[in-house]
Structure 1
Amino acid sequence: MISYLKTSIQLFSYFSIACLGVSATAAKVDFSKEIAPILETNCVSCHSGESPEGDFNLTTKTLANETSYDSAIVAESPEESSIYSLTVLDRTDDQLMPPLHSGGPLPKASTELLRRWIAEGAEWPEGTTLTAKPKPAGSFVSADDFDLVKKIHAKIVAQAKAEAGDPQDYAKVIPLTEVEFHMVATPGGEFLMGSPADEELRHADEGPQTKVTVDPFWIGKYEVTWDEYEPFMITQIDRRKDGGRIDYDAQTHTIIDAVSQPTPPYTEMSFGMGQHGYPAISMTQHAANKYCQWLSAQTGHFYRLPTEAEWEFACRAGTSTAYSFGDDPEQLKQYGWFYDNANEKYQKVGLKKPNPWGLHDMHGNVMEWTADQYLPDYFDKIQGHANNPYIKPVTLYPRTARGGGWDDDPDRLRSAARRGSDPSWKQQDPQLPKSVWYHTNATQLGFRIVRPVKVPSPEEMYFYWNSARDVY
């Protein structure tokens, strides 16, 4: 009898546990309570607004399904859905989402919820809109996130209202370093971008010539110098590889402290060519973007890299010839540093004649980063989109550089000449993975900054400052 009761109790227990298991399995994932928080704190800050990363907008079901990536969310097929499959990659994989510096990889519990939600049909309640939300305290890998950009944006908007008026040339000092920099106001307007088919030494990626319009903006009178850039690059602060402060504390540090800054270089980055008054070199586009964010956080003005269109507009300065001074390369020695006169190194900024708008070294010395993805068929792509054209980057390489450098021949210094970045620019970097901050082989590479008159949205700011942060 006792044996029978014991057996009955065991069977009842097994039956109860099995029933509970069936019940737990039957409970579907709740999108609002379980999926939305994952997406809002890890994904939406990058995949929202007018310039979502990868053109993938994750704020509504409709926008998510309109992505150019057909496999973003494939109902009942988690492994075919990139919104899940990219979250379970190895932590060292370049395509991990979210990437390491943004809090990735997600906890296994979160990826499992995403997998189950998709397997169950990826139901997304109609009318549900997702908004970017901060991660819970203690879970940040870096404070340099969309919330930080919104704070910088608010500072910029407030200052723009206080400074309303016609754009004028100006000189300012960087608040943290008291180093002076100069900006030149350009009027904006329409111009013929690219080179004519009969221009000597023309390259195929420079046309067909297209009428382009750009809005007014300020641009650096000189290339960014080591005096301006080195205090950003070398900080004596312990940093993770993504550039975030290890000791960051929101209660004691400022929005300037929150901006990611380079980890220490493994070699002296001027390579003995000179520092005071010389152009900064060998930074990645990501490093140049973050310098712009760091400067913006201090000054209350929005700085970024110029688009290709803005750069050429400023370089030409109202001219239509091969160079801003004419078509004769024999005059180039008066305006720029290149292979024939640079003595195998860059030179101090501002020593050569400026272009008609007062901008120095637009031809030579160092080639300069622009914000665009490099495309050989750029001019075909902008047809019908010639108002403030911008090729939003979707891959890390190639990105466009303009102006030519100290080791180039005259054809590379023409106003329309273009060049794409290449992974070989990191060849000497001994780090694994390669640094996100340095292009050690690109000793001809620098940048200058622009400030658009129109203040963009926080989403646009975020994209400009972070478009080279990840390897897509």
Structure 2
Amino acid sequence: MALALSLALVLPAAGQGAAGGGYVKLPGGSFRSALDYEDVAGNVRVAPFALMKQPVTNAQFLAFVKSNPQWRRDRAPTVMAEPRYLSHWAGPTELGADAAPAQPVVQVSWFAASAYCEAQGARLPTWNEWEYAAAADETRRDARKDPVWRERILAWYSRPSNTALPRAGLQTPNAYGVQDLHGLVWEWTDDFSSLLVDADNRNQGDPDNARFCGAGALSMDDRDNYAVLMRVAMLSSLNAADTTANLGFRCARTLP
């Protein structure tokens, strides 16, 4: 799927949008992804970057929509936002009972999320950046080998998705100071369309997995990391105009 549609015609100059959430700096470094890229041997390299401490909320996105009315649900082009876009809001510029201001915004397309971040002089994080940040628990920068931590994440993901979302920022910050990376909403990444993975883990190691070809082709390297597999399968099933009731986003910034 091509994401070459230009956003330049629908974005204000950087910094003119609604104020974004606070950012924390992550140091980056050599990182072993749970995904085995065909075109990358060994660890991936994550450059230092800044990431929003919390996902974007309804209140923040409402301020963006008011400043950028082309992203109202009644005006957004259908090629960039399907009919469910912001459908839980009471109106095009009104949140209502089903969208509390402090809850993470959902029912947003990749195009809308990318436009919001660009309006803040930012961007959506890459998958490697998101995975790097999400590998940390409250005290360790990489807790992925801890079975207790993994079970906690899986318990979060096993909760019913038809219940009201908690407000953002309730979770204890991880070792980098980032909150809500697990157990609140799924999150868009800038390169989501390159996440091509076989959802059936029994096929891992099968020579036929070469059918997933190209620069972003990958397969699960860590077969026990089902939370990552679920997230990748979710993102890889979407188109850029799609929205869901449990998919939100946060922004990132490249550091000098």
- In the TM superposition, structure 1's runs of 4+ consecutive aligned residues that sit over 6 Å from their partners are 260-264
Find the residue that maps to 1:363 and give its secondary structure.
coil
1:181 is the counterpart of 2:21? yes
CA distance 1:295–1:176, shift in 2 (3 Å): closer
What is the CA-CA distance between 1:357 and the residue it aligns to? Answer: 1.3
CA distance 1:237–1:262, shift in 2 (3 Å): farther
Question: What are the equivalent positions in structure 2 for 1:71-90 lying under 5 Å apart?
Answer: none
1:316 is the counterpart of 2:125? no
- Structure 1 residue runs of 5 or longer lacking an equivalent are 1-51, 55-98, 103-141, 153-173, 195-205, 244-259, 297-302, 382-389, 393-410, 427-435, 455-472
Distance across 1 between alignment mates of 2:8 and 2:194: 30
CA distance 1:264–1:308, shift in 2 (3 Å): closer
Distance across 1 between alignment mates of 2:135 and 2:124: 17
Distance across 2 between alignment mates of 1:308 and 1:365: 18
CA distance 1:311–1:413, shift in 2 (3 Å): same
Find the residue that maps to 1:371 and give its secondary structure.
coil
RMSD of aligned Cα (Å): 4.5
CA distance 1:277–1:191, shift in 2 (3 Å): same
Q: Residue deviations 1:386-418, cap 9 Å, x none?
A: xxxx849xxxxxxxxxxxxxxxxxx76459942
CA distance 1:306–1:187, shift in 2 (3 Å): same
Alignment partner, residue 105 of structure 2: 280
Q: State percent identity of aligned pairs.
A: 25
Using the size of structure 2 for normalisation, the TM-score is 0.65
Alignment partner, residue 374 of structure 1: 194
Distance across 2 between alignment mates of 1:357 and 1:308: 17
Alignment partner, residue 294 of structure 1: 119
Find the residue that maps to 2:188 and give its secondary structure.
strand
- Alpha-carbon contact 1:312-1:416 (below 8 Å) kept: no
Using the size of structure 1 for normalisation, the TM-score is 0.38
Q: Paired residue for 1:351, among 160, 165, 170?
A: 170
What is the CA-CA distance between 1:331 and the residue it aligns to? Answer: 3.8
What is the CA-CA distance between 1:261 and the residue it aligns to? Answer: 11
Distance across 2 between alignment mates of 1:216 and 1:227: 29
- Alpha-carbon contact 1:366-1:445 (below 8 Å) kept: yes
- Alpha-carbon contact 2:195-2:236 (below 8 Å) kept: no
Alignment partner, residue 159 of structure 2: 340
1:451 is the counterpart of 2:253? yes
Q: Paired residue for 2:235, among 401, 413, 420?
A: 420
Distance across 1 between alignment mates of 2:84 and 2:235: 26
Alignment partner, residue 88 of structure 2: 268
Q: Which residue type is aligned with residue 33 of structure 2? A: M
Alignment partner, residue 94 of structure 1: none
Distance across 1 between alignment mates of 2:186 and 2:166: 13
What is the count of residue pairs matched by the alignment? 217
What is the CA-CA distance between 1:231 and the residue it aligns to? Answer: 1.8
Distance across 1 between alignment mates of 2:196 and 2:86: 34
Q: Which residue type is aligned with residue 220 of structure 1? A: M
- Alpha-carbon contact 1:374-1:420 (below 8 Å) kept: no
Alignment partner, residue 220 of structure 2: none
- Structure 2 residue runs of 5 or longer lacking an equivalent are 90-94, 199-208, 218-224
Find the residue that maps to 1:345 and give its secondary structure.
coil
Higher helix share: 1
Q: Residue deviations 1:223-254, cap 9 Å, x none?
A: 111121112234594786549xxxxxxxxxxx
CA distance 1:345–1:284, shift in 2 (3 Å): same
